[in-house]
């Protein structure tokens, strides 16, 4: 999923001490924005319940031995005809509790999303720093690759990575490895925005006097720059990361929908939707509806936060 989120403005407060004041501004803007508070609460609830899934979930949907097939297709809040068990949000075709599956599923979705964002963030920031600092051919190469990445469909990148990984990993280990393959696949398709932002900021800093001065007194320029560049790009990078987290979660869902995502025994929200989709016409609407709702709410909450963060960090828009 290759949305060009409009590059967040790099013009913020300069750096250093100001960052602290910034933060308090941020806190103020947060308190006064009901949308932001709502989104934050929603996101927090969903993330916390995903993390605490083993404690909250009434059933363990990952333990196939505990499932009873005869519990399959139980309607929400209604006791199963045979076992009499009640599932809050109903059960799927395998007798799996939808509520527990959503809790565990959002755990997988969030894990894939967060890990891939960290992956692309580290990669993108690193490459951006190098490009901005080293310049020349290296810079041209990195930025060209970033351009390609930005305009090449992320889904195709992910499919390619997935295909190659499947060939390289022995079949027995594939089920366990799928999650990390997804992380790399999605991460690799989203790093370019970070690289662009960081490179721009690095270019600005590179020509400042203090860098020359540091070099003159024998300090390595890179660590000095890191200290100045990093705080400067924190804001924009945070915005990109937030929006990318929502994107990564949806991208994972799309990959799972196309059948190359998480295996059925370890479902993410996308896998749950893929299963539920076949029951759209047959009346078992809850199998599709609740996981889809969870996915949309999760993505929406994160997007709202990202949106607010971007506006809040852009002084011109205040």
Partner 1 sequence: MLAYVVRSIMQGLIVMLAVAFIAFSMFRFVGDPVVNMLGQEATLQDRAELTERLGLNDPVPLQFGRFLMNAVQFDFGISYRQGRKVSSLIAERLPATVELAVLSAIFALVIGIGLGVFAAIRRDSWLAHVVMTVSLIGVSLPTFLIGIGLIYIFAVELRWLPSFGRGETVKIGWWSTGLLTTSGLKSLIMPVVTLGFLQLTLIMRLVRSEMLEVMRSDFVRFARARGVSERNIEFRHALRNTMIPVITIAGLQLGGVIAFAIVTETVFQWPGLGALFVNAVQFVDIPVMSAYLFFVAAVFVLTSLMVDMIYLALDPRLKSGPGAK
Partner 2 sequence: MKPMKTLAVVGTLLAATFLTTISSEARTLRWARSGDALTLDPHGQNEGPTTALGQHIYEALTERDHTGKLGPSLATSWGVVPGDPTTWEFKIRPDVRFHNGATLTADDVVFSYERAMQPTSDFKGYLSSVESVTKVDNLTVRIKTKGPNPLLVNSTTSIYIMNKAWAEANNATKAQDFKSKEENFAVRNAMGTGPFTLVSREADVRTVMRRNEAYWAKSSVPLEVSELVFVPIKADATRVAALLSGEVDFVQDVPVQDIERLKGAPNMRITSGAENRTIFFGMDVASADLKGDNVQGKNPFADKRVRQAMNMAINRTAIQRIVMRGESVPTGVIMPPFVNGWTKELDAAPPTDVARARALLAEAGYPQGFSTTLHCPNDRYVNDEGICQAAVGMFGQIGIRVNLVSQSKSIHFTLIQKNPPETEFFLVGWGVPTYDSDYIFSFMYHSRQGSRGSWNATGYADKDVDAMIQSLSQEIDIPKRDATIAKLWAKLKDETIYLPIHHQALSYAMKSNLDIPVDVANSPKLKMVSFKGS
Binding site for partner 1 (CB under 8 A): 1-6, 139-140, 143-144, 147-148, 150-156, 160, 163-164, 166-167, 196, 246, 250, 253-254, 257-258, 270, 273, 277, 280-281, 292, 295-296, 299-300, 303-304, 307, 316-317
CA 83 → CA 69, 80, 285, distances in Å?
11, 6, 21
CB 83, min distance to partner 1, A? 31
| Two structure tokens written together for 316 | 């011109």
- The span of 45-53, 129-137, 249-257, 273-281 binding partner 2 (CB under 8 A) equals 273-281
Q: 153 contacts which partner out of partner 1, partner 2, none, CB within 5 to 8 A by kind?
A: partner 1
Q: 72 contacts which partner out of partner 1, partner 2, none, CB within 5 to 8 A by kind?
A: partner 2
Residue tagged 């001490």 (tokens): 17
What DSSP string describes 24-51? HHHHHHHHT-HHHHHHHHHHHHHHHHHH
- Please provide residue 209's backbone torsions phi and psi, each rounded to the nearest 5 degrees: -65, -35
Q: Does 259 bind partner 2 (CB under 8 A)?
A: yes
Determine if residue 136 is left, alpha or beta; phi over 0 gives left, psi from -120 to 50 gives alpha, anything else beta.
left
Q: What is the DSSP letter of 88?
A: T
Among 5, 279, 307, 311, binds partner 2 (CB under 8 A): 279
Applying the rule CB under 8 A, the residues between 124 and 163 that interact with partner 2 are none
Closer CB to partner 2, 24 or 63, in the complex: 63
Q: Does 277 bind partner 2 (CB under 8 A)?
A: yes
Contact yes or no for 138/127 (Cβ under 8 A): no
Contact yes or no for 291/252 (Cβ under 8 A): no
Q: 257 contacts which partner out of partner 2, partner 1, none, CB within 5 to 8 A by kind?
A: partner 1
Q: 37 contacts which partner out of partner 1, partner 2, none, CB within 5 to 8 A by kind?
A: none
CA 30 → CA 171, 268, 312, distances in Å?
48, 31, 8
Q: Does 67 bind partner 2 (CB under 8 A)?
A: yes
Q: 304 contacts which partner out of partner 2, partner 1, none, CB within 5 to 8 A by kind?
A: partner 1
CB 296, min distance to partner 1, A? 5
Among 55, 69, 209, 317, binds partner 2 (CB under 8 A): 69
CA 161 → CA 3, 130, 219, 255, distances in Å?
19, 24, 41, 12
Element (H, E) at 241: helix 221-257
Closer CB to partner 1, 79 or 163, in the complex: 163
Cβ partners under 8 Å of residue 221, min gap 6: 133, 211, 214, 215
Applying the rule CB under 8 A, the residues between 160 and 179 that interact with partner 2 are 171-172, 174-175
Closer CB to partner 1, 222 or 292, in the complex: 292
* Residues 183, 241, 128, 223, Cα dihedral to 10°: -100
Contact yes or no for 129/195 (Cβ under 8 A): no
CB 250, min distance to partner 2, A? 20
Of 184, 166, 183, whose CA–CA distance to 175 is shortest? 166
Binding-site ranges for partner 2 (CB under 8 A): 63-70, 72-73, 93-95, 171-172, 174-175, 259, 263-265, 277-284
């Amino acid at each position: 999923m290759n949305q060009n989120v409009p590059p967040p403005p790099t013009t913020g407060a300069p750096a250093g001490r100001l960052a602290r004041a910034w933060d308090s501004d941020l806190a103020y803007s947060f308190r006064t924005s009901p949308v932001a508070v709502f989104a934050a609460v929603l996101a927090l609830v969903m993330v916390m319940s995903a993390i605490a899934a083993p404690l909250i979930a009434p059933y363990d949907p990952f333990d196939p031995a505990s499932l009873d097939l005869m519990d399959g297709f139980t309607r929400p809040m209604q006791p199963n005809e045979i076992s009499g068990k009640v599932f809050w949000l109903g059960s799927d075709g395998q007798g799996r509790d939808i509520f527990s599956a959503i809790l565990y599923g959002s755990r997988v979705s969030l894990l894939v999303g967060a890990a891939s964002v960290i992956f692309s963030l580290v990669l993108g920031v690193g490459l951006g720093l190098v490009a901005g600092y080293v310049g020349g051919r290296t810079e041209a190469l990195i930025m060209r690759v970033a351009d390609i990445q930005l305009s090449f469909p992320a889904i195709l990148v992910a499919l390619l990575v997935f295909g190659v990984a499947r060939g390289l990993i022995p079949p027995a280990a594939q089920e366990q490895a799928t999650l990390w393959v997804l992380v790399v696949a999605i991460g690799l398709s989203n790093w370019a925005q970070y690289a662009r932002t960081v490179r721009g900021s690095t270019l600005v800093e590179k020509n400042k006097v203090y860098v020359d001065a540091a070099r003159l007194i024998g300090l390595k320029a890179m660590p000095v720059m890191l200290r100045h560049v990093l705080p400067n790009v924190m804001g924009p990078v945070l915005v990109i990361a937030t929006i990318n987290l929502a994107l990564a979660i949806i991208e994972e869902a799309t990959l799972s929908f196309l059948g190359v995502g998480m295996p059925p025994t370890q479902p993410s929200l996308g896998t749950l939707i893929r299963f539920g989709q076949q029951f759209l016409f047959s009346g078992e609407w809850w199998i599709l509806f609740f996981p889809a709702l969870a996915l949309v709410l999760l993505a929406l909450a994160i997007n709202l936060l990202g949106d607010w963060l971007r506006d809040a960090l852009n002084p011109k828009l205040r």
